[in-house]
């Protein structure tokens, strides 16, 4: 890993870079180990490093070392960080990060996120979906062939029926999915959830299993593969992978404790 350290140290002091890469390698090993234990190819699980509240320099250091996917929860923080990281490309950051939006998304922010994130994980209403589609319609065509812009999304399911959390009720999922699939500029790729927080990650298993079952039933209903399940965080990532997660979202175990929100 000396090359990784050298690359990361362009953005962070060497000791901080080493600690960051050590944590990242440990999480990657956990994810890969869980995939192999489940008889899955580790390459089929995308690790999203959740950089909420952490500085752009930490994102750039990890990206320089080889991490590709990063998740953000707040629109304004994410857009600012995207700009800051893009400004660092001349310091040895060869590949631009692939950004995921994983926080609650209000419909009035739709105009700010389309085209800025590879994947929106938290679409949870027809109103939001229509706002996203309308914003995409206002953007110029892309490429020489004039391809209309599109946006990859997941539907967030309130899998634990928690009032304080966003997400569509499981019973309402087919109706929302049908509305989304009728919108020409959104590409539905699967489901996302945030189960109740437990001290023991194993307690999340039935919620992850339930999301997989909902995805499978919805896929059969609409006749589309819906390949992605975004589920699992620092404390329960192994259980999520065992239950079929294709995307896991890990913050603290990679970046360390979050600094206070500025």
Q: How far apart are CA 201 and CA 21, in angstroms?
A: 24
Half-sphere exposure of 145 (CA within 13 A, CB side): 3
Query: Is there a domain that residue 261 lies in?
Result: no
Q: How confident is the model at residue 103 (pLDDT cuts 50, 70, 90)?
A: very high
Report pLDDT digits (tens) over 74-98. 999 999 999 999 888 666 566 789 9
Q: Report if residue 169 sits inside a domain.
A: yes
Average pLDDT over residues 33-60: 97
Asked if the structure places residue 260 within a domain, the reply is no
The CATH number given to whatever domain includes residue 34 is 3.20.20.10
Alpha-carbon gap, residue 192 to 186, rounded angstroms: 16
Q: Is residue 262 part of a domain?
A: no
Neighbours of 165 (CB within 10 A): 16
What pLDDT, on the 0 to 100 scale, is given for residue 92?
A: 59
Rounded to 10 degrees, the C-alpha dihedral 22/25/26/32 comes to: 180
Range of the domain at 164: 2-141+152-255
Q: How confident is the model at residue 220 (pLDDT cuts 50, 70, 90)?
A: very high
pLDDT one-digit tens code per residue, 21-45:
999 999 999 999 999 999 999 999 9
- HSE of 242, CA atoms in CB hemisphere, 13 A: 14
Question: For the segment 158-179, what is each residue's pLDDT rounded down to a tens digit?
Answer: 998 888 889 999 999 999 999 9
Task: Assess if residue 147 is contained within a domain.
Answer: no
> Could you tell me if residue 232 is inside a domain?
yes
CA of 146: how far to CAs of 133, 134, 142, 149, 153, in Å? 17, 18, 5, 9, 22
36: in domain: yes
Give dist(CA 208, CA 102) in Å, integer: 17
Decide if 125 is inside a domain.
Answer: yes
Domains of the chain: total: 1
């Amino acid at each position: 890993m000396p090359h990784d350290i050298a690359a990361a140290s362009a953005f962070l002091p060497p000791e901080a870079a080493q600690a960051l890469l050590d944590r990242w390698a440990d999480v990657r090993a956990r994810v890969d180990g869980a995939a192999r234990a489940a008889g899955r190819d580790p390459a089929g699980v995308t690790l999203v490093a959740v950089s909420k509240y952490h500085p752009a320099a930490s994102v750039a250091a990890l990206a320089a070392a080889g991490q590709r996917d990063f998740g953000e929860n707040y629109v304004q923080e994410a857009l600012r960080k995207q700009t800051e990281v893009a400004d660092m490309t001349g310091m040895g950051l060869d590949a631009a990060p692939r950004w995921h939006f994983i926080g609650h998304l209000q419909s009035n922010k739709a105009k700010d996120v389309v085209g800025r994130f590879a994947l929106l994980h938290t679409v949870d209403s027809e109103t939001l979906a229509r706002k996203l589609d309308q914003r995409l319609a206002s953007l110029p065509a892309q490429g020489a062939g004039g391809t209309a812009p599109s946006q990859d999304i997941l539907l967030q399911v309130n899998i634990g029926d928690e009032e304080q959390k966003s997400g569509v009720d499981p019973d309402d999922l087919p109706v929302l999915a049908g509305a989304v699939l009728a919108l020409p500029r959104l590409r539905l790729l699967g489901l996302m959830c945030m189960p109740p927080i437990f001290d023991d990650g194993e307690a999340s298993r039935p919620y992850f299993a339930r999301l997989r079952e909902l995805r499978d039933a919805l896929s059969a209903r609409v006749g589309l593969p819906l390949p992605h399940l975004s589920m699992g965080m620092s404390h329960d990532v192994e259980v999520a992978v065992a239950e079929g997660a294709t995307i896991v979202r890990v913050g603290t175990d990679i970046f360390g404790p979050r600094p206070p929100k500025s």
